[in-house]
Structure formats: structure tokens, C-alpha cells
Amino acid sequence: MADRKVYTDYFFDEPAFNTHDGGYVPLKEPDTPQEKLKIPALLKPDKETDTDMYYTVIAQTGETQLLPGAKTKTWGYNASILGQTIVFKDGKNIHITLKNELPELTTFHWHGLNVPGPITDGGCHAPVYPGESTQINFKCNQVAATLWLHAHPCPATAQHVWKGLATTVIVQDQTESQLPFPRNYGVNDIPLVLQDRNFHENNQLDYMADYDPDGIQGPTPMINGTINPYFDVTTQRLRLRILDGANRREWRLHFSDDLKFTQIASDGGVLPEPIDFTHLMLTCAERAEIIVDFRGYKPGDEVTLYSDDVPLVRFRIHQFAKDDTTLPDHLVDIPDPDITPNTKIHQVVMAGMDEEVEINSKKFDMQRIDDKQKVGSVEYWDVSNTNDKTGGMIHPYHMHATQFRIVSRNGHEPYPNEHGLKDTVGVNPGETVRLKVWFDKLGVFMNHCHILEHEDGGMMAQFEVYDPDHPKTYKLMDMDTLMTAFAKERGVKKEELNIPGMHM
Ligand code: C2O
Ligand code: CU
Ligand code: CU
């Protein structure tokens, strides 16, 4: 373990960092008192048997004490903001009642989960109207990973997530449970949802006031729905399941003293081998599980996690038992199926910024299927970002219904932490990233830039995973139906709706 290489680089193209963006909103250290980091409760199953798990997930309105003074009006899943953490066990049949107690329609998208589409997957074709509930059933069939649930009612996804509709989902399996990782939830295994917000009068959010077609940002870091958090460290090793849950912001993470940390998992599960870093960049929707080892610190010390030079979380060191656990050089085997002969190379070209964003020269259309892939077939997808290298931005590209492998970046090796399973990949300006993609569930699914305003603004496409022996037709949602419903729910005329992406 001692002689693993330590990477000190963010990788990515520095000129494309969001800091150079005209509309960039720098983070500011909050001047409010430090608060204990909120650790979301684990959502209690309604019932669990040897084979089945039953849950009720409620999208609800609430008020959250984020800043001193007035509470902030927020939305969440079984909580006033963000949500409780949901655990699925590989191999079990999962039954979830999805309840919408919001004043307007929403959807429940399981980002990274291997489930059929478009309804179970929960993209824009699966609205749950206010006061209603619906049930989804699926078999959990994938390796241990940190995934997430977020709202996806195109083109109001960004508004719903900004209000708080995002929460961590943990898949557990046999293999991961044997690895020497911390896994005492809330003690040495914690989710860390990184977001940023801007607060207006009376501590309220105002999405439209802060709207930016390249992605809304706020100066205040919000971690697990906590402003200016600290965490009490009581174990030598701490596992952080970090999610970039921001609408737009990239996080350039590092600790005080350039403390080394070890990445053990990426979006889709455990990495083939642990990777040591001092610096790590996450783009929107990406996850990284890391283990931080505080062996060099003593009670009373504080270790700070920063993004650039702004503190995000202060880790207050307390007494801990000595822990000599070392990680094996090899953690898990990652599937690497051969490309199916005579299949095409799919092309996804992300172009534009602001309102001009497109994929393959088109804006998203819920009724149009842009690409197809046979279930079980393994194919290359070449994903490019045509923004120019200096004036452009990184587009975090996401595909539903798969955990893919990154084959290359402009023909070169992917980054050292990109050899595991991924569902989101930051694509630099002028770059083509080659992915190896396979699906084992049928349906219509979305692929898009995960800057939520780009997604809502049309940098999104759809594909069908099909089985030629059992052709299916899907009833797809249309924009007019959704806009009519939103208008009715918000008590305004359709033309008066404040949903920026609706005019695309
Ligand atoms: Cu995080 Cu279309 O999804
Ligand atoms: Cu997704
Ligand atoms: Cu984008």
C-alpha cells in the first residue's frame, strides 16, 4: 500500500474549468456559525423479507433551518430537504410506492440504477401528479455502488433539484461487503452531497432570480443540506460517498495539508484498484467514494475539505482506535465484454453553450427516439464536445440504464480513476471520449449533459434498448401535456409559466 503512486493532478483541461466562465459565481466561506453535518437517516423499509424490500418514497414540501433566522422553503424525499438515504440489496425484489405530496408534478429518477425504462427509470415520461402515488417494482441486479435519486420532470428538472429533490441511494452486494472498507453508516461511512445555493430575502431560494442558461450557481456551499458543516471524526479511517449534486458546479476537492486520500469507487461501483490522490475534481452527477486516513492527527486537530480555496467541511478529530487495515492492490474485477461484431459506433456530439445547447444538432424532443441499441449488444459510443478549448466548458455526459466503461479520451488512456464502471463522464472541450456501452434492460432512456440547465435547455437525447424478438411500442409523454399540467398546478396560463427550457 505504501508504494502506490499518489496523483496530485485534477486532470481535466484547466482552461475549461467553470472558474473561467463569464457567469461563474465563486464560492464564499459562509459567515454563519459552524453546524454539525447532517447525516441523512436511512430510509426504513416498510417491510423486508429474505427476497423482497418494500419502501415508500414521498416527495414533500418542507422548511429547513439552513441559516440563522427564517427557515428556507425546500423540497425533499421523506425529509424537508434532500432526503433519507435509500439502501437496495443486490438480488432482492424491490417494491417502491412513489408518492407526490408536492403542489406540482414531479418524477423519481434512479440515476445509475439498472432498471427498465421509461417508467421505472423515472425520466420525463413518468410524471407522478400532485396528490397521487404509483408503484414501481424491479429486481435489484447490480454491484454495490453509490447512486442517487433525483427529480427529472423535463424541463423543470433543474428547478426541482435546486429546491432539494436529490438523495443518496446505496446498493449493497456480497463482494463489496467482504472488502476492508469502513461501512458503519453515519460513523465512518457517510454520504457527502455537494451543492451550492444563493439565499435571497428572508433566507429563501429564488430559482428564476439566479437563473443562468449555463447552469445556476450560488456562492454558499451546502453539504448534505448543511451550511458551514463540521463532522466529528471518531475513527481513523473515514469513507466519504461524495456526490456532485450541484446543478452546474464542478468541485475541485483537496484537504488541508494536502492530505492524501484513496478513491475506492466511482459512479457504478468499486474500482479495480484503489487510487491515491491529493486532488480530485468531480463534475455534475459524478460520484467518488474515498477513504481518508487520519492516522497523522490527534484529538483536537481539524482537517478541512476544500473546493479550490473555500472550506466545505471541517473534520474535527477526536480520540480514535488505531487501525492498521490496508487495502489490497486489487479490489474487484470489472466486466469488460467484447464489442459485438458488426455494430455501429454511436455518435453523440454535444455542442453549444447558453440557450444554444444541442446534441447532434438537435434539441431534445420527448417524442423522438434518436438512437437504438439491441439489448445485450456491446457497442462503442463516441461522445464529443465541440466547444472550443479556451472559451468552452466541460459537459458532464450521462446515460441512463447503463454503467459503461471509458475506453479512451481523444485516443489516450482515460484518467487513472476511470477504469471502473461509470454512468457520467466529464467531456472536455474539443475532446471525444469513447465509451463501451451495454444494456440489459429494455426501454426508452435519456442521455444528456448533466448540467441541469443544459439538460432542461435541450442538450438531451433519447435511445431505445430493444429486443428484435419482442418489439415493443412505448407511449411517450409530450411537452404540451406536461406544460398544461404545470400551468394548472401553478395556477397560471401556459404562456406565463416560468420554466426556462419550455420554449426550446
Ligand atoms: Cu441524473 Cu437523466 O439524470
Ligand atoms: Cu440518470
Ligand atoms: Cu453541458
Q: Which pLDDT tens digit goes with each residue over 34-48? A: 999 999 999 999 999
pLDDT at 197: 98
**Dist. CA 458 → ligand 1 center (Å):** 13
Which pLDDT tens digit goes with each residue over 59-86? 999 999 999 999 999 999 999 999 999 9
**Dist. CA 398 → ligand 2 center (Å):** 7
Per the structure, the complete domain to which residue 408 belongs is given by: 346-470
**Dist. CA 109 → ligand 2 center (Å):** 6
Is 341 within a domain? no
Same domain, 67 and 164: yes
pLDDT at 504: 57
| Cis peptide, bond prior to residue 155, ω within 30 of zero | yes
Does pLDDT of 456 surpass 80?
yes
Does pLDDT of 390 surpass 90?
no
Q: Cα–Cα distance between 148 and 112 in angstroms, integer?
A: 7
Domain closes at, from 175, 203, 226: 175
Which-ligand-closest: CA of 458? 3
Is 92 within a domain? yes
Contacts of 50 (CB under 8 A, 6+ apart): none
The mean pLDDT of 405-425, rounded to a whole number, is 98
- Residue 152 Cβ inside 6 Å of ligand 1? The answer reads yes
Is 426 within a domain? yes
Buried b (16+ CB within 10 A) or exposed e, 140-171: bbbbbbbbbbbbbbbbbbbbbbbbbbbbbbbb
For ligand 1, atom 1, which residue shows the shortest CA distance? 111
β-pair partners for 347? 382
Contacts of 138 (CB under 8 A, 6+ apart): 93, 94, 115, 116, 120
Same domain, 197 and 161: no
**Dist. CA 150 → ligand 2 center (Å):** 8
- Residue 400 Cβ inside 6 Å of ligand 1? The answer reads yes
Banded pLDDT at 2 (limits 50, 70, 90) = low
Does pLDDT of 502 surpass 70?
yes
Q: Mean pLDDT in the chain?
A: 97
The mean pLDDT of 345-349, rounded to a whole number, is 98
Banded pLDDT at 1 (limits 50, 70, 90) = very low
Same domain, 253 and 364: no
Same domain, 169 and 47: yes
Contacts of 365 (CB under 8 A, 6+ apart): none
Which-ligand-closest: CA of 397? 3
Same domain, 170 and 306: no
Banded pLDDT at 391 (limits 50, 70, 90) = confident
Same domain, 104 and 29: yes
Lowest mean pLDDT among 18-22, 287-291, 343-347: 18-22
Is 67 within a domain? yes
Q: Cα–Cα distance between 222 and 196 in angstroms, integer?
A: 5
Atom of ligand 1 nearest to the CA of 150: 1
Distances (CA, A) of 207 to 164, 193, 293: 12, 19, 39
Is 1 within a domain? no
Which pLDDT tens digit goes with each residue over 208-252? 999 999 999 999 999 999 999 999 999 999 999 999 999 999 999
Q: DSSP states of 412-462 as a string? A: BPPPTT-SS-BSEEEE-TTEEEEEEEE--S-EEEEEEESSHHHHHTT-EEE
CA 504 to chain CA centroid, Å, is: 24
For the chain, percent of residues with pLDDT exceeding 90: 96
- Which of 298, 302, 320 minimizes the C-alpha distance to 311? 302
Same domain, 171 and 25: yes
pLDDT at 355: 87
Which pLDDT tens digit goes with each residue over 276-308? 999 999 999 999 999 999 999 999 999 999 999
Kindly report the pTM of this predicted structure: 0.98
Q: Cα–Cα distance between 34 and 30 in angstroms, integer?
A: 9
Domain closes at, from 124, 145, 175: 175
Report CA torsion sign: 12, 13, 19, 24.
negative
Banded pLDDT at 320 (limits 50, 70, 90) = very high
Same domain, 154 and 189: no
376: domain CATH number is 2.60.40.420
User: Is residue 243 within 8 Å of 192, Cβ to Cβ?
Assistant: yes
pLDDT at 503: 66
- Residue 285 Cβ inside 6 Å of ligand 1? The answer reads yes
Same domain, 303 and 259: yes
Contacts of 184 (CB under 8 A, 6+ apart): 235
pLDDT at 3: 75
- Residue 448 Cβ inside 6 Å of ligand 1? The answer reads yes
For ligand 1, atom 3, which residue shows the shortest CA distance? 111
**CA count, 13 A, side-chain hemisphere, 458:** 22
Is 204 within a domain? yes
Same domain, 189 and 169: no
Domain closes at, from 129, 147, 175: 175
The mean pLDDT of 447-473, rounded to a whole number, is 97
* Grid coordinates belonging to 151: 427529480
Residues with CB under 5 A from ligand 2 (ion): 111, 400
Is 227 within a domain? yes
**Dist. CA 274 → ligand 1 center (Å):** 27
For 85-135, what is the HEC assignment?
Answer: EEEEECCCEEEEEEEECCCCCECCEEECCCCCCCCCCCCCCCCECCCCEEE
Q: How many domains does the chain have?
A: 3
CA 199 to chain CA centroid, Å, is: 23
The mean pLDDT of 434-441, rounded to a whole number, is 98
User: Is residue 385 within 8 Å of 8, Cβ to Cβ?
Assistant: no
Does pLDDT of 354 surpass 80?
yes
Same domain, 400 and 372: yes
Is 363 within a domain? yes
The mean pLDDT of 83-111, rounded to a whole number, is 98
β-pair partners for 97? 56, 135
Same domain, 167 and 301: no
Residues with CB under 5 A from ligand 3 (ion): 395, 449, 451, 454
The mean pLDDT of 427-449, rounded to a whole number, is 98
Which pLDDT tens digit goes with each residue over 6-15? 999 999 999 9
- Residue 452 Cβ inside 6 Å of ligand 1? The answer reads no
